[in-house]
Chain A
Amino acid sequence: MGDTIKNRTFDVIVIGSGMSGGWVAKEFCDKGFKTLVLERGRDVKHVKDYPTTTKMPWEFERRGKMPIEVTKANPVVSRCYAYGEATDHFFVKDNEHPYVQDKPFDWIRGYQVGGKSLLWARQTQRWSDFDFEGPARDGFAVDWPIRYKDIEPWYSYVEKFAGIAGDKDGIPNLPDGEFLPGFPLNCVEKYFKQIVEKNYNGRHVISGRCAHLSKPQPVHFEQGRVQCQNRTICERGCPFGGYFSANASTIPWALKTGKLTLRPDSVVESIIYDENKGRATGVRVIDRIQKTTVEYYAKVIFVNAGALNTNLILLNSKSARFPNGLGNENDLLGKYVAFHNYRVRVSAEYDGFKELTTDGRRPTSGYIPRFRNVYRQETDFLRGYAAGFGAYRSMETNTDGFGTSLKQKLLNPTAGPWKVGSHMMGETIPKITSVVALDKIKKDEWGMPLLKISMDYDDNDEKMIKDYTEQMTAMFERAGFTNIIATDSRQAPGLDIHEMGGVRMGNDPKTSLLNKWHQLHECNNVFVTDGACMTSTSTQNPSLTYMAFSARAADYAMQELKKGNL
């Protein structure tokens, strides 16, 4: 087969193979569409390319730590909790892929097939109308063009396939989903749940819903995935497919249809816009290794490069019609980016349940859904925060002395006090001053302009931090917890790994980039269903929503293709 244009033409091109791109690929392939997935990084095959997944702790010569030269040369990625000796190969190093920090921003990236879906924290909470109606009610950003009823069936659809463990909690602002059995709370978490729910109206402590197969169904076995084994070393890749990743689920599923062409090492330079046709016709790709350029063509293009890289590709897709980036007629592309405020943790100890501890491990922990400003504005800041909550009991060892007495203590540790911890997940308000843009001078190894990132905390975030600290402290006191300590990490935006926006959805082409079907208003065969499409951030971990968006938009695109509208 020669390298003809025909061989480089597909029904759909998906840029990115991670959390959302994998879903788009699966949906199109399932319905028989010829699909090309472009991934800028290397291929990572399920199980085969998880080199550390069965390693024992003592098989890591530094027990997980990275050499000081590496951490010094890569301060950004080294701040990520999941980065270390066991996962080094799945993270982008700072110096390999530079970017410009107009303001401090820790950009955590995974350039490989599967992207960050290999590495995510796997928390999957649904949005509700209390989230979708936020901007309209509180007067920021623009109104979301969709509501919960639009996305509800798609949440169910992706949950059944991905496998979500959770309890039916009946909380209006955190809708229940299609759950496999939830992972249980432990004794201290259950106790705290009772205290909070008895003393506070509208506050709940639940088991965090997570993308783990607590009780796999036929559709999961069909994917080659089996029950989660509670290893909690998920970020190394799971040989059981116990948690959802593109590598374990959507990508191999799509490949099995025979409809998918997966091209790793493909850096997308830009999307090609045809002035005469008034539509995008394909993408220009730079081979990561050879540095050669090749073009691919399709009727429909999905951009799922990861929120900020999706902005980068669109900004770099310049034409006479769109000199400032594809679909960017209103000059809002790259603006109104936002993130989640993860700055504060509150920790404490509990004197009770001395006779109990935990056994085994658990891939999730407790979750406190947003309770601030849900039904009405009640504080001096907008929106609110969700919180993680967990209790654990460690074995403790006194390391005084040396010799046989020390050894006696080392080999016979005693159960320490119960420890509890919580961290905030605050909604931040997208602002016109929060921007990603192309650097005018600096370029990367592939000739792509570097992305210049400029976003920061604001007064609303500081007030929210104060409120979270006060409220969590009060709830801990109410439960009789002691040694309560609040810590503000002052971490830069980005380390939450929930960067969103820049290509926001909205009803009005003058004030938004995407319509309610995720199509660019000004170029309707280009869809964006990753974090870049987010109009506001709310408090939930966003991946589940990206998956649902992707499946819904792909379904719409296929219908339009069949009708000949695209």
Chain B
Amino acid sequence: MQRRTAVKYLFVVAAGSAVLPSCLHKTDKASIVLKHLDINGQQEKLLAEIAETIIPSGSAPGARDTYAHLFVLRMVDDCYDQQNQKSFLAGLNSIDDIASQKFATSFIKCNSQQRNEIVNELETKKGSGEAVDFYTMMKTLTIQGYLSSKPVLGDIFKYELVPARYNGFFPVKTSIHQV
């Protein structure tokens, strides 16, 4: 094949893929590159909603606003061993089973009261082993990601990279942050 022809084909193919609507992709990928976890866009969305149920938004940002669920994925993918990654995935996949048993629908389609009910079961360790294991990892990492995010650590707690001072006799002050 002539080089010029090949280049022309390439353009056609590229143009074709550009106009294909995204709904035709059967399994969309997670929005961050993962090495070990096979997570699709639906599962990512589910994670975001679980994170948001753990720390909901209000006058202050919630977990979803801080992308805490993506931090969870990054940490489980990079820093957890294979066994923990497996039980994280198994537990994540069991959340919709719980939702369908209790409310005959998926977690995402549950209303906030139903979501709270499901998470409350996990919080009080009533669910299956794998669901509770998943929840424990999910909650710990969600809190870590939330508290160390820019909207929270930077904007609410005013983290200083350059404090330029030290006072070893500083009066304890309590400032109330709105939830």
Interface members, chain B 74-90 (any A CB < 8 Å): 74-75, 78-81
Q: B79 contacts A58, CB within 8 Å?
A: no
With an 8 A cutoff between CB atoms, is A67 at the interface? yes
| Surface stretch bound by B, among A112-120, A397-405, A432-440 | A397-405
Choose one: B116, B150, B176; the contact of A58 (CB below 8 Å). B150
Q: A56 contacts B161, CB within 8 Å?
A: yes
Question: How many Å lie between the Cα of A377 and that of B21 in the bound state?
Answer: 84
| Closest chain A CB from B155 CB (angstroms) | 11
With an 8 A cutoff between CB atoms, is B60 at the interface? yes
Question: How many Å lie between the Cα of A189 and that of B150 in the bound state?
Answer: 33
Closest Cβ neighbor of B78 among chain A residues? A67
Q: A408 contacts B163, CB within 8 Å?
A: no
Question: How many Å lie between the Cα of A232 and that of B170 in the bound state?
Answer: 19
Interface members, chain B 57-93 (any A CB < 8 Å): 58, 60, 62, 71, 74-75, 78-81
Q: B120 contacts A402, CB within 8 Å?
A: yes
Interface members, chain B 103-141 (any A CB < 8 Å): 116, 119-120, 123, 139
Question: How many Å lie between the Cα of A190 and that of B169 in the bound state?
Answer: 10
Question: How many Å lie between the Cα of A404 and that of B57 in the bound state?
Answer: 8
A231 / chain B contacts, CB cutoff of 8 Å: 161-163
**B149, B164, B178, most chain A CB atoms within 10 A:** B164
| Closest chain B CB from A213 CB (angstroms) | 12
Choose one: A68, A359, A410; the contact of B170 (CB below 8 Å). A359
A183 / chain B contacts, CB cutoff of 8 Å: 166
Interface of B is mostly: mixed
* Residue contacts A-B, CB under 8 angstroms, 22 given: A56-B159, A58-B153, A62-B74, A63-B71, A63-B148, A65-B79, A67-B79, A183-B166, A186-B168, A189-B168, A229-B163, A230-B164, A231-B162, A356-B170, A356-B171, A358-B166, A358-B167, A360-B160, A362-B166, A402-B54, A403-B116, A403-B119
Question: How many Å lie between the Cα of A410 and that of B157 in the bound state?
Answer: 11
B30 / chain A contacts, CB cutoff of 8 Å: none
Interface members, chain A 171-186 (any B CB < 8 Å): 183-186
Question: How many Å lie between the Cα of A66 and that of B119 in the bound state?
Answer: 30
A229 / chain B contacts, CB cutoff of 8 Å: 162-164
With an 8 A cutoff between CB atoms, is A443 at the interface? no
With an 8 A cutoff between CB atoms, is B10 at the interface? no
Q: A402 contacts B159, CB within 8 Å?
A: no
Interface of A is mostly: loop
Choose one: A63, A190, A402, A408; the contact of B139 (CB below 8 Å). A402
With an 8 A cutoff between CB atoms, is A407 at the interface? yes
Q: A54 contacts B161, CB within 8 Å?
A: yes
Choose one: B147, B154, B163; the contact of A230 (CB below 8 Å). B163
Question: How many Å lie between the Cα of A359 and that of B163 in the bound state?
Answer: 9
**B116, B164, B165, B166, most chain A CB atoms within 10 A:** B166
| Closest chain B CB from A487 CB (angstroms) | 23
| Closest chain A CB from B88 CB (angstroms) | 13
B168 / chain A contacts, CB cutoff of 8 Å: 184-187, 189-190, 358, 362
Q: A187 contacts B169, CB within 8 Å?
A: yes
A68 / chain B contacts, CB cutoff of 8 Å: 78-81
With an 8 A cutoff between CB atoms, is B98 at the interface? no
Q: B171 contacts A410, CB within 8 Å?
A: no
With an 8 A cutoff between CB atoms, is A57 at the interface? yes
Interface members, chain A 451-505 (any B CB < 8 Å): none
Closest Cβ neighbor of A400 among chain B residues? B123
Choose one: A57, A360, A362, A410; the contact of B146 (CB below 8 Å). A410
With an 8 A cutoff between CB atoms, is A324 at the interface? no
Interface residues on chain B, number (Cβ under 8 Å): 50
Interface string of A44-63 (1 = CB under 8 A from B): 00000000001011100111
Q: Which B residues fall within an 8 A CB radius of A?
A: 53-56, 58, 60, 62, 71, 74-75, 78-81, 116, 119-120, 123, 139, 143-150, 152-154, 156, 159-172, 174, 176-179
Closest Cβ neighbor of A392 among chain B residues? B168
Q: A407 contacts B60, CB within 8 Å?
A: yes
Interface members, chain A 190-238 (any B CB < 8 Å): 190, 227, 229-231, 233
Q: A404 contacts B56, CB within 8 Å?
A: yes
B146 / chain A contacts, CB cutoff of 8 Å: 410
| Closest chain B CB from A563 CB (angstroms) | 49
> Top 9 closest A-B pairs, CB basis?
A186-B168, A359-B170, A360-B165, A362-B166, A411-B177, A67-B78, A360-B163, A360-B166, A359-B167
User: With A62-B78, A63-B144, A65-B79 given, is the CB distance from A406 to B166 under 8 Å?
Assistant: no
With an 8 A cutoff between CB atoms, is A289 at the interface? no
Q: B156 contacts A411, CB within 8 Å?
A: yes
Question: How many Å lie between the Cα of A68 and that of B171 in the bound state?
Answer: 41
A58 / chain B contacts, CB cutoff of 8 Å: 148-150, 153-154
Question: How many Å lie between the Cα of A525 and that of B147 in the bound state?
Answer: 58
A399 / chain B contacts, CB cutoff of 8 Å: 139, 143
Question: How many Å lie between the Cα of A229 and that of B166 in the bound state?
Answer: 10
Q: B170 contacts A403, CB within 8 Å?
A: no
Q: B179 contacts A411, CB within 8 Å?
A: yes
Q: Known contacts A67-B78, A362-B166, A412-B177; can you find 14 more A-B pairs with CB under 8 A?
A: A56-B159, A186-B168, A189-B168, A355-B172, A358-B170, A360-B166, A401-B123, A402-B53, A403-B53, A403-B116, A407-B58, A411-B60, A412-B174, A412-B176
With an 8 A cutoff between CB atoms, is A562 at the interface? no
Closest Cβ neighbor of A57 among chain B residues? B148
| Closest chain B CB from A85 CB (angstroms) | 10
With an 8 A cutoff between CB atoms, is A361 at the interface? yes
| Closest chain A CB from B154 CB (angstroms) | 7
A397 / chain B contacts, CB cutoff of 8 Å: 147
Q: A184 contacts B166, CB within 8 Å?
A: yes
With an 8 A cutoff between CB atoms, is A74 at the interface? no
Closest Cβ neighbor of A409 among chain B residues? B179
A403 / chain B contacts, CB cutoff of 8 Å: 53-56, 116, 119
Question: How many Å lie between the Cα of A403 and that of B145 in the bound state?
Answer: 16
Interface members, chain A 339-372 (any B CB < 8 Å): 354-362
B174 / chain A contacts, CB cutoff of 8 Å: 412, 414
Q: B176 contacts A357, CB within 8 Å?
A: no
Question: How many Å lie between the Cα of A316 and that of B57 in the bound state?
Answer: 65
B172 / chain A contacts, CB cutoff of 8 Å: 354-357, 415
